[in-house]
Amino acid sequence: MKQLWYFSAPWCGPCKMFGPTMDRVASQGIQVNKINIDYEADAVTKYGVRSVPTTILVENGKELRLLLEILLYFQHRILNSEI
């Protein structure tokens, strides 16, 4: 099962811009776990998050960190109805 862990903070400008993309990804059937780093210190430590926004795809217990640029590419495709 695929899960996307999205680490963000309410004070983070790029996170505010990226949030709607995560909502769109969730609407495509991928489970998105939104983590507010200000309140979820254990998850931040477990996944070694050092900056936000950070996205981690977990599939079959394996982690794949996704670069923001990759997700922005898909955001562009989704918004232009290419997916």
Q: Tell me, yes or no, if 21 is annotated catalytic.
A: no
C-beta separation of 37 from 9 below 8 A: yes
What does the DSSP assignment read for 36-63?
ETTT-HHHHHHHT--SSSEEEEEETTEE
Q: Which of 4, 8, 15, 49 is catalytic?
A: 15
Is 15 labeled as catalytic in the residue annotation? yes
User: Active site residue: 5, 7, 12, 21, which one?
Assistant: 12
- The set of catalytic residues is 12, 15
